[in-house]
Structure 1
Amino acid sequence: MQLGDDTLDHLGHLGWRPGVAFSAALPDAPAGRVGRVSSQHRAGYEVAVDEDDVRHGVQPPPEWLRPRFPAEDRACVGDWVVLDAECANILQRLPRQSVLKRAAAGEHYKQQLIAANIDHVLVVCGLDHDFNPRRLERYLLLVRAGGSEPVIVLTKADQVDDLEPVAEALADIAAQDIAIHPVNAKDADSVRVLEPYLGAGRTVVLVGSSGAGKSTLTNTLLGLEKMATGEVREKDSRGRHTTTRRVLLPLPQGGCLIDTPGMRELKLTGEEKLEASAFSDVEAIAAGCRFRDCRHEGEPGCAVQEALDTDALDPDHVANYFKLRDELATASGQQAIRQAQRAEERTPGRGAGRTSAKRPGEWKGRR
């Protein structure tokens, strides 16, 4: 597929950028029109083919509708797709540069995609009852696993007299070279610190709890009241889901923003790496343990325990590391089982040679 420079210019307003996975795959894609998924409904997808041209009710390929088709292989908000000439059907999803996802709630292992092809994930946390460094560490684990860079945005900074305790609580995260920005989400001058992440060809996604101020921040960045906002409860600072679905919005700064509903459950997928998250400090110290399989639970020569005894590591930080380490091991096991099941389902002639089911009343035991 060949695209003229004028088409590429228009796609740039939607976050298109040369030299990454989706653009590199374009020459081998089927003929059609390229667009970006901006929202998803039961009736189909909304796909932007230009900054001011969004096609509604775009239908997915038939195979995406099959019950056993992997959810992570379907398109989600932020994906680049090739449409037919009428822009009524998706012909192909282009490869992803990055993807933010979590494990879906429930007993069975499934992955839930949140957004694709994002450069920075703005993890929004309010400096009220919403403030929780341990939850931020969980977010960072998920973000890094998807190939995006995390940025922590602390809203409601105007309601805090002293930010020094906040800085101390986030010292372990800041030490991992993760950007942290306290802002007043209602003040355009205050949020200007985020502009380096919002330029042409860039895409950011906002994640965080309900009531953290994501919709307020979105409105301030857009310069208009695009997203509904609501009050939060005083006792726990929780808000209602004013954002009810994921939506991609072009920004006046030249990039794109994906707003998401508040997330109260963040299950690991099993693909995360502790050493690539906010726990690289613990992992680095653990490399000095006497035993390679040290669990840091009282074994002799444990470097992590020594660091705790000398206050070189924060106990709460390490406790969360243990919790997520064990959760990650469980999720990895569930993922391996699911992958094995899918491989068996794809095996040609599956079931051939098996003993046929017995007829009612028939006994096939030994004589």
Structure 2
Amino acid sequence: MTVLQADVLIVGAGPAGATAALNLAGRHRVLLVDRLAAPLARIGESLPPAAARLLQDMGLLDAFLRQGHAPYHGNRAWWNGAWTEHHFLSDPDGHGWHLARGSFDLWLRDEARRRGAALLASAKVAGITPEDGGWKVRLETSRGPCDAAARIVIDATGRSARLARGIGARRQRSDRLVSVWQYGHERTPSARGFAHIEACEYGWWYSAPLPGQRRVLALHTDADLLDSNALRNTGWLEAAARRLPATRELLEQQGYMADTPTLATPAHTATLDTGAGPGWFAVGDAALSFDPLSSQGIFNALYTGLAAAEAADRTLQGELQAYQHYHRELSAIGAAYARHLAYCYGQETRWPSAPFWRRRRPVQVGAL
């Protein structure tokens, strides 16, 4: 059986995995594995202004700016019965971006390949075992099974954290949040580039403009509060959104018309009991899964992908305790996130007995 040799094996070619790969390629043999031949459409499409510094550090900013992603100037929220606005006007990094997510993910994957990473798509991990100071990973591919040997493995498998759990890490989920979403077209171009948020008794709604006069519309609620039969009704999400006063006004103003099916995606907060160990690292949602209210999911993917790549590079150069520094960094990120999320949810006090809001006082985040 063929054995693929690599210094670093990265499982998952989304933003976190591709970022780790492109920062390691050229200095080390990198094998990037993904179960999909090409990225799928998915919710999660905003980058805050601070992402510009990350992209600049990785030599990606100029190419990113040429892609034409839509400006993201801040958030406007109907929260606790009043409008609040957070502007990026005073941010030293300027504005953020509403992404064309599919093309963004594909660009990062292609950049990793351009820098020298090997990509094995349409493949999934069937097993992982320690071997000779590294790892042996059994892969299932379209051409049959094969093995890969690597000194370091990076888990970028998203919320499943499939690789880290195979090594022995435990996944700790804090809630049952799901995002129910769809894309649509808007007749009126969005002039301000603001994300829109509106709280309701059973969760909160989100909408944001995207490139090409596109718009995303999403409801965030707990899985057990969602009528699963409603998902079979193609017009349910838009109809429900139009029953909320602020969201209805936005959709009417923009001339929104849905043109994709309604999809549901896990959006819960979750952590690993440890996000790194000797010879392995978890990145992105595999390490820390963020509630979308934080607007930090893709930024966290880029940041942890870069940080894990730096720690992996130090490990390969002989600094065998580099994973401990990375783990401490994840712990600090998780603690700051928990405080911020508790504060945001705590500002909404209109429905103290409603299950969705009662469960979020206080937010319980698993310890790293």
Structure of larger gyration radius: 1
Greater strand content: 2
Q: TM-score, normalised by structure 1?
A: 0.25
Q: Greater relative contact order (Cα 8 A, min sep 6): structure 1 or 2?
A: 2
